[in-house]
Amino acid sequence: MAGIGKQAAVLTAARFANYGLVLIGPIILVRILSVEQFGQYRQFVVYASFLQLFAAFSFAESLLYFVPSYAKSVWRIANQTNLLSSMVLPR
């Protein structure tokens, strides 16, 4: 049980560090890059965000449909969803 708590703490710290980087990154980049370069960076971030939304295909949400429909193969559906989610959106 202590191993799970340690893993949860490391994951929480990593997520907070990621949120901090997302918050601080543009503030630093606006000082380093020119106006045109920063505009290109922001445009890339917007397009990448939309592409990420469409690339996910809502695999996790599809469990709400497929698990009740195929109750005999719940683990197979969950494993396939996990595999597809990790291939599309590595975390």
Calculate the dihedral angle through the C-alpha atoms of 6, 9, 14, 16, rounding to the nearest 10 degrees.
Answer: 180
Which DSSP state fits 76?
Answer: H
Tens-digit pLDDT profile for residues 27-77: 998 999 999 999 999 999 999 888 877 766 666 666 666 666 667 777 877
Record the pTM.
0.50
The token duo for 68 is 């009740």
